[in-house]
Amino acid sequence: MKLSLFNFVIAMVGALVLVQPLPAEESQSEKPKQFIYVLHLVPRLYADASWTDEDKKVLQRHFVRFQEAINRR
């Protein structure tokens, strides 16, 4: 009886060790998270002639930061 209980405990411990995931290995194989979003223009900016110099500067800053983010990958 004692031998059977001992074998059962050993088998359970072995099963738990094999089934238990290894978080460090899983996190290394995960892909980086990606987010996609769409920017919509306000109606005032639908016409090219409506863009002010300030609007163009803001857009330029946005694309510079966007390009830097892409290059860091």
Residue 3's pLDDT is what?
A: 62
Residue 23's pLDDT is what?
A: 60
The pLDDT averaged over each successive group of 10 residues in the chain (73 residues) is: 69 69 58 77 92 93 90 80
Residue 53's pLDDT is what?
A: 95
Residue 33's pLDDT is what?
A: 72
pTM for the whole structure: 0.46
CA 14 to CA 19: how far, in whole Å? 9
Listed by start position, the domains of the chain span 2-72
CB atoms within 10 A of CB 51: 14
> Residue type at 64?
V
Q: How many CA atoms lie within 13 A of 66 on its CB side?
A: 10
